[in-house]
Amino acid sequence: MTQFFKDSVTVTPEIIKSKATGTVVFKFTADEKGAIKKLVIFYADDAILAPPMIEALKRSNHKWVVPDNEKFHDFILSFSIGFTPPAAGTPSPQKALYNFYLKRKPILSTNQVPLDNVTLLPTVVVNYNLDQ
């Protein structure tokens, strides 16, 4: 399942340009066939990180592997997004990374979110190359 989500994420040029890194945490509800019915962003280090993860979740309908008897409640899925460090001798991404951090616009849950029955899925780690 983790590999499916990793393969489904398309890192946007905006993420690459800003050297964005961080975490996005979702809660979603799936029906008995695995189709995603509801999606809530619990947290995102920056708003630009969320759309590619949402698109990956949309493409996942009926394709992720969770036993049928587990599909009747909610799931929490976190994505950790980062870049592969550049090779030695290439310009350092430190300044761009610092600028991203200063200008980031986090998505935060400002109120309690009832969880009911929820399954925490493994974190999906997404790395991208800066030269894409």
Q: Are strands 124-128 and 22-30 parallel, antiparallel or unpaired?
A: unpaired
Q: According to the model, what pLDDT value does residue 70 have?
A: 59
* CATH class of the domain whose range is 2-128: alpha beta
Give the pTM: 0.79
What is the rounded distance in angstroms from the CA atom of residue 116 to the CA atom of residue 23?
23
What is the rounded distance in angstroms from the CA atom of residue 115 to the CA atom of residue 112?
9
**Cβ count within 10 A of residue 38:** 9
Q: pLDDT tens for residues 17-47? A: 888 999 999 888 877 777 788 888 989 999 9
- Please provide the size of the chain in residues: 132
List all residues 6 or more positions away from 108 whose beta carbon is below 8 Å from its beta carbon. 43
Q: pLDDT tens for residues 90-132? A: 677 888 888 888 999 988 877 777 777 788 888 899 999 887 5
Q: Is the pLDDT of residue 67 over 70?
A: no
In the chain, what are the domain boundaries? 2-128
